[in-house]
Structure 1
Amino acid sequence: MNQILKSISYIFHPLLMPLLGVIFYFSKSPRFIPEPVIKAKLFSITILTVILPILLFYLLKTINKVQSFHLETVKERQLPLIINSCIIVLILVRVLPINDIPELYFFFIGILISTITCLALALAKFKASIHMIASAGFFMFAVAVAIHFKININGTIALMCIILGAIATSRLHLKAHTPIELIVGCFVGLLPQLILLNYWM
């Protein structure tokens, strides 16, 4: 059981959630988007949100700025969150401008707001759960896409709720967070996506 709960934290790592959101959108959107465009967007998002942060993490670890991939202390979180905010801004400017795919643009605006909020909390010495921030943000975006395009994804929503519970259970079991840190993380991820619905739905 310990290994299963530990593996959940890796399988549903925050780095993967933006990419999963983009994949979900392209798989559910009824809009015609040329396949080369989809492939180019997915390639760029994969490089910028997964591969680049991993490479930068190992750089930060080499220079002793971080110790763990899970950024266990608030001090370790600050520089990676700043770097991640810059990466998201780059995505918004170069990969997903507002006049390109508005839904994904505002999805990443929400991610940026959540990241900056998490950074502010880290500076205030509060360790909100980044796992819950990322997964709750993706959950809210997926529900919004389904409502926007009038798609029935009840089974997917039920599965996502189970996954959210599994992630929270995993983080508690590993003693990575307290219940309040998980709850705050959930709201930090969910609320920006919810508020931004007014701009694209």
Structure 2
Amino acid sequence: MNRILKSISFIFHPLLMPLSGVVFYFLVSPRFTPNEIIYAKLVSLSILTIILPILIYFLLKTLGKIQSIYLRTTKERILPLALNCVIILIVLQRILTQTLFIELYFFFVGILISTMACMILAFFKFKASIHMIALSGLFMFFIVLSIHFSININEILALMSIITGAVATSRLHLKAHDYKELIMGFFIGVMPQLILVNYWLN
């Protein structure tokens, strides 16, 4: 059981959630987007949101700024979260501009706000669950997209509910977080996406 719960945390790692949202958007969007553009965006995002953070992790570990991938202390979280904010800003400026993909643009604005909130809490020694922030933000994005495009994705939303619960259970079982940190992470992920809906949902 311990191995299964640990695997859940890795399979649904926060680094994978932004790209998952973009892939889902292109799968359900009724707007025509040339395959070449989709491919270019996905490759660019994979490099910026997955490969680059992994390289930054190894650099920070080599420099002694962090001890492990788990970022167990709030002090260890601050620099990686700050660098992630910079990466997201690059994505917003260069990859997913508001004029091209307004839904994805505000999805990443929400991710930026959530990341900044998590970083601010780290300054105050509170370790909100990054797993829950990423999953709950993605979950809310799926819900809003289903309304926006008038599509029925009840099965996917049900699956996301199960996954979110499984990840929360995993984090508790592994003693990575307590209930307060999970609940705070959930709201930090959901609220920016919910508030930003006003800027693009029609």
Determine whether 1:65 maps to 2:65.
yes
Unaligned runs of 5+ in 1: none
Q: Deviations over 1:31-71 (max 9, x none)?
A: 00111000010001100000000001000000111111121
Letter in 2 for 1:124: F
Letter in 2 for 1:172: L
Q: Deviations over 1:137-195 (max 9, x none)?
A: 00000111111000100000000000000000000000000000000000000000000
Question: Using the alignment, how far apart are the partners of 2:191 and 2:70 within structure 1?
Answer: 23
What residue is the counterpart of 2:40 in the other structure? 40
| SS state at 1:32 partner | coil
Q: 1:82 Cα shift?
A: 0.3
TM-score computed with the length of structure 1 as normaliser: 0.99
What residue is the counterpart of 2:4 in the other structure? 4
Q: 1:24 Cα shift?
A: 0.5
List 4+ stretches of structure 1 deviating above 2 A: none
1:6-155 residue pairs with structure 2 within 5 A? 6-155=6-155
Question: Using the alignment, how far apart are the partners of 1:87 and 1:73 within structure 2?
Answer: 22
| SS state at 2:33 partner | coil
Q: 1:87 Cα shift?
A: 0.2
Question: Using the alignment, how far apart are the partners of 1:98 and 1:71 within structure 2?
Answer: 33
Question: Using the alignment, how far apart are the partners of 1:55 and 1:135 within structure 2?
Answer: 23
TM-score computed with the length of structure 2 as normaliser: 0.99
| SS state at 2:70 partner | coil
Question: Using the alignment, how far apart are the partners of 2:25 and 2:70 within structure 1?
Answer: 27
Question: Using the alignment, how far apart are the partners of 2:170 and 2:25 within structure 1?
Answer: 27
Letter in 2 for 1:194: L
Unaligned runs of 5+ in 2: none
Question: Using the alignment, how far apart are the partners of 2:70 and 2:52 within structure 1?
Answer: 16
Letter in 1 for 2:185: G
Letter in 2 for 1:165: G
Percent identity between the two aligned chains: 64
What residue is the counterpart of 1:175 in the other structure? 175
**TM-align CA RMSD:** 0.4
Q: Deviations over 1:78-112 (max 9, x none)?
A: 00000000000000000011101000000000000
Question: Using the alignment, how far apart are the partners of 2:44 and 2:67 within structure 1?
Answer: 28
Question: Using the alignment, how far apart are the partners of 1:77 and 1:60 within structure 2?
Answer: 11
| SS state at 1:196 partner | helix
Letter in 2 for 1:20: S
Question: Using the alignment, how far apart are the partners of 1:30 and 1:190 within structure 2?
Answer: 25
